[in-house]
Amino acid sequence: MICAMPESRAESRSDLSPDEATLTVDELSARVGMTVRTLRFYAGRGLIPPPVRRGRVGYYGPEHIARLDLVRELQAHGFTLSAIEGYLDRIPSDASPQDIALHRTLLTPWMRDLPETLDRAALVRRTGRELTDDDIEMLVALGVVEPTPDEDVFQVATAHLSLGVELLDLDLPVDAVLAAGRIFADHGRAIAEELTEVFRTKVWPHYRDSGGPPEHIRQLVERFKPVTIQGLVLAYERAVGETQRDTIRRSRTKPRR
């Protein structure tokens, strides 16, 4: 059953200029590619603000479009409706369409390619080699392949598949790969959280206050990705070098028996 917008929320908005609200619900539906039924459902759930009323007709503007685009982006990332409501609740009610667009921009996937669903035969063709059960287990341990509820059907990070195949030839112990994976996952999550906080508190406000369009932020995010990854690689290389030197120094100072 579709929820009707409460009358208390259907009054004309004071924070949206009537000149900005020019779309009827049918025109908004065509603009965002959603049915009128869906739009009214979202309005009833509070995912979009009420329209500007002119007589008996409600009109919608850029803020509604921005919020609906964000809803669609969140859905594409697998958010449930309840999770989307919680996300939108944290966005100030007076947020501009530009501010809302920034939220959508920051959801841009960092992976170069989204995972691809392949059955075992397709995975064999893609790798160009026969894959034993041990090979599949190793690719899963490497995080290149993820099993699905369907037997012999996998989610594959195709951008990293060739690297995974190269690692198969190194004959690494699976438990060592799993241990390394846990280290990368734990530290990677901590780094991601801290860098996200830096971006949110220092980078985002700077570009938002500059008055530039959301596209500038999108370009910044796209350029920020390789720079950040390269920074991590350099930091890791330096850390490995320092660790090796420390190991050598300790071995030299260790008393001989």
**Per-residue pLDDT at 123 exceeds 90:** yes
AA identity, residue 159: A
Q: What's the pLDDT at 204?
A: 73
Looking at the structure, tell me whether residues 126 and 96 fall in a common domain.
no
Residue pair 73/105 in contact (Cβ under 8 Å)? The answer is: no
Residue 5 token pair: 């917008």
Q: Which of 156, 172, 188 is the last residue of a domain?
A: 172
Residue 76 token pair: 């594409």
- What is the DSSP secondary structure assignment for residue 50, as one 8-state letter? P
Q: What is the pLDDT of residues 2-46, one digit of tens each?
A: 232 333 333 444 344 445 778 999 999 999 998 999 999 999 888
Among 84-98, 127-141, 229-243, the minimum mean pLDDT is found in 84-98
Output the average pLDDT for the chain. Answer: 80
Looking at the structure, tell me whether residues 207 and 160 fall in a common domain.
no
Looking at the structure, tell me whether residues 139 and 194 fall in a common domain.
no
Looking at the structure, tell me whether residues 91 and 162 fall in a common domain.
no
Residues sharing a CB contact under 8 Å with residue 257, sequence separation 6 or more, in sequence order: none
H, E, C per residue of 150-165: CCCEEEECHHHHHHHH
CA angle 130, 131, 133 (to 5 degrees): 145
Indicate the pTM of the whole model: 0.53
Q: Which of 105, 137, 154 is the last residue of a domain?
A: 105
Domain extent for 240: 176-253
Say if 180 falls within a structural domain: yes
**Per-residue pLDDT at 238 exceeds 80:** yes
Looking at the structure, tell me whether residues 135 and 45 fall in a common domain.
no
Q: What's the pLDDT at 257?
A: 60
Length in residues, the chain: 257
Among 62-71, 90-99, 137-146, 239-248, the minimum mean pLDDT is found in 90-99
Say if 128 falls within a structural domain: yes
Looking at the structure, tell me whether residues 183 and 165 fall in a common domain.
no
Q: Cα(227)–Cα(143) distance, rounded to whole angstroms? A: 23
Question: Distances in Å between the alpha carbon of 171 and those of 44, 134, 161?
Answer: 57, 11, 16
Looking at the structure, tell me whether residues 134 and 195 fall in a common domain.
no
Looking at the structure, tell me whether residues 47 and 71 fall in a common domain.
yes
Q: Confidence band (pLDDT; 50, 70, 90) for 256?
A: low
Looking at the structure, tell me whether residues 158 and 77 fall in a common domain.
no
Total domains in the fold of the chain: 3
Q: What's the number of CA atoms in the CB half-sphere (13 Å) around residue 95?
A: 22
* DSSP E strand stretches across 9-91: 52-54, 57-59
Q: Which of 172, 187, 218 is the last residue of a domain?
A: 172
Say if 110 falls within a structural domain: no
Say if 111 falls within a structural domain: no
Among 18-27, 147-156, 183-192, 247-256, the minimum mean pLDDT is found in 247-256
H, E, C per residue of 101-123: HHHHHCCCCCCCCCCEEEEHHHH
**Per-residue pLDDT at 165 exceeds 60:** yes
Say if 1 falls within a structural domain: no
Among 28-32, 173-177, 205-209, the minimum mean pLDDT is found in 205-209
Grouping H, G, I as helix, E, B as strand and the rest as coil, residue 54 is strand
Say if 2 falls within a structural domain: no
Q: What's the pLDDT at 14?
A: 38
Looking at the structure, tell me whether residues 13 and 92 fall in a common domain.
yes
Q: What's the pLDDT at 205?
A: 79
Residue whose structure tokens are 């990332």:
77
Looking at the structure, tell me whether residues 184 and 158 fall in a common domain.
no
Candidates 53, 48, 68, 63; CA nearest to 13 is 53
Among 10-14, 37-41, 108-112, 244-248, the minimum mean pLDDT is found in 10-14
Q: CATH code at 70?
A: 1.10.1660.10
Residue whose structure tokens are 């949110």:
200
Looking at the structure, tell me whether residues 45 and 129 fall in a common domain.
no
Residue pair 82/112 in contact (Cβ under 8 Å)? The answer is: no
